[in-house]
Amino acid sequence: MCPAGTYSATGYYPASSTPEASCTPCPAGTFSAAVGASSVDTCVECPIRFWSPAGAPSCIDCGAGKTTVWKGSDDTGDCVDAAFDIAAWNEGPWALSDTWFKDRAFDTAARFIWSSPPASTPTEQAKIDQEIAVLTRQFEAQSGVTLELYIMADNAAEIFIDGVFLGTSYAGWTATGRPLQVYPLPALTTGLHTVKLRGLNSQINPADDNPAGLIAGIRTVATQSTVIVTDSTWTRAAATAPDAADLAPSSTPPKGFSTGIYGASYGWFIWTDTWSEGESSAPVDVINVFKASYTTTETVGDVEIYALDSVCELFVNGLFIGAQTYSEYRWNGIALSGGENTFVLRCTNPIYCDGGATGACVHDPSSPANPAWVAFRFVLGGVDRMYSSNWEVGSAETSPCNNDGHCSAWSALSYA
């Protein structure tokens, strides 16, 4: 009989022959434990986290800390870094209650994951705070079946479906009073699709106890049947640079808002022209990028940003410095080039939420209840040098922004 991992029309090979000559091996990426198999249908795809060469009687485990992008992997090179499993839904620093998670029919098989394990030293904590967690998983969809994604992120996560930005999740654990957010997915065709979560851990002081993690799942809307949940089958990567789209050239200045608004004592708050203050909510499905340059021979400086009702990332000379969510933070001792320095702010506007375990996250484009701003301050030797405006501190210019309300020292762009 044909040995495991092979098959023939009869399940046998002639006595005058050999298995190698008369039995067909199962394709790479599949396996068959059956002896005497008579059809290729006995060859089964290797599951996620496993791979196989042709003619395999079983699949080979990628090993600890590794996974595969999808089923049917056929080479050890398909094994990539797996997301770190941080805790169950009701464990760890978030410890979601039944009311907050289970009673809302979210799948309790979901796990908190991240691109790094929990920190046990200040050095490990700094690594977590200075990297963007890129967590990715493929999933199957059926045309006509509506899906939704639920998520809680500490502190925030941008959501992409097949590379298209869906929105930003912010918070959602019990202590925040903000519920897990549920996002309807766009109509999908039958086949494989990809979800990517771009996780951010907001800087705090002191920074020695600043956990990072997210928990999520995709399910059908009609029956709330699970499609996937976060676990160690997700792939992980750590990004430290802006995306290519963030660096696209732009000559459009951002829109400037009232100086000193909500207590910011420096610069003007800015945003893109995607919305007007007091007229409507800022769009939640758009990435907003602000760029400016400053030339100095100094090699160290300080940057402060105030992400007001927004989630913002700071990059200096192409390197990720950190993120801030709905608050203000100052990074001291940032390395400068000794010449021209480029500052990039990448910001999004999470959807508005009513608090509580059963509260709803509702984005109403016609309501002014969900605005978004960011303010910026650059300091050298304890002296303010540049704000989020066209005003270089100490210059003869008397107004931070132009009369038309735009801040021409900065450029702005938005994309989905």
Tokens 């997301």 correspond to what residue? 83
pLDDT of 392-408, one tens digit each?
444 444 444 544 445 56
Q: What is the pLDDT of residue 395?
A: 43
Q: Assign residue 340 the CATH number of its domain.
A: 2.60.120
Do residues 254 and 315 share a domain?
Answer: yes
2 pLDDT higher than 80: yes
Tokens of 72: 């049917």
Do 103 and 49 reside in the same domain of the chain?
no
Q: Is the pLDDT of residue 266 over 70?
A: no
> Do both 44 and 26 map to the same domain?
yes
Q: Answer yes or no: is 14 within a domain.
A: yes
Could you tell me the residue range of the domain that residue 27 belongs to? 1-64
Q: Tell me: do 274 and 411 sit in the same domain.
A: yes
132 and 234 within one domain: yes
> Per mean pLDDT, which of 237-246, 269-278, 385-394 is the most reliable?
237-246
CA–CA separation, 386 vs 380, rounded Å?
A: 9
Residues 188, 330 share a domain: no
Q: Are 208 and 125 in contact (CB under 8 A)?
A: yes
The answer to whether residue 172 is domain-embedded is: yes
- Same domain? 249 vs 223: no
Say if residue 44 is in the same domain as residue 106: no
* pLDDT-above-70 percentage for the chain: 92
Report the domain count for the chain: 3
- Of 29, 64, 99, the residue that ends a domain is 64
Q: What is the pLDDT of residues 30-85, one digit of tens each?
A: 999 999 999 999 999 999 999 999 999 999 999 999 999 999 999 999 999 999 99
pLDDT attached to residue 82: 98
pLDDT at 394: 44
Among 79, 54, 45, residue whose Cα is nearest residue 64: 79
79 in any annotated domain: no
CATH number at residue 204: 2.60.120.260
265 domain-assigned: yes
Distance CA 163, CA 193 (A): 10
pTM of the model: 0.91
Per-residue model confidence (pLDDT) at position 101: 94
Residue 39 falls inside a structural domain: yes
Structure tokens at 51: 């791979």
Residue 70 lies inside a defined structural domain of this protein: no
Is 250 part of any domain? yes
The answer to whether residue 49 is domain-embedded is yes
Considering the domain architecture, whether residues 56 and 111 belong to the same structural domain is answered as: no
333-343 CB burial, b ≥16 within 10 A, e <16 = ebebeeeebeb
The string of pLDDT tens digits covering residues 113-124 is 999 999 988 888
Select from 239, 272, 299 the last residue of a domain. 239
Same domain, 320 and 280: yes
Q: What is the pLDDT of residues 353-372, one digit of tens each?
A: 877 888 888 777 777 778 89
Mean pLDDT of 104-113: 96
Specify whether 54 is located in the same domain as 151: no
CATH number, domain of 32, equals: 2.10.50.10
197 and 123 in a common domain = yes
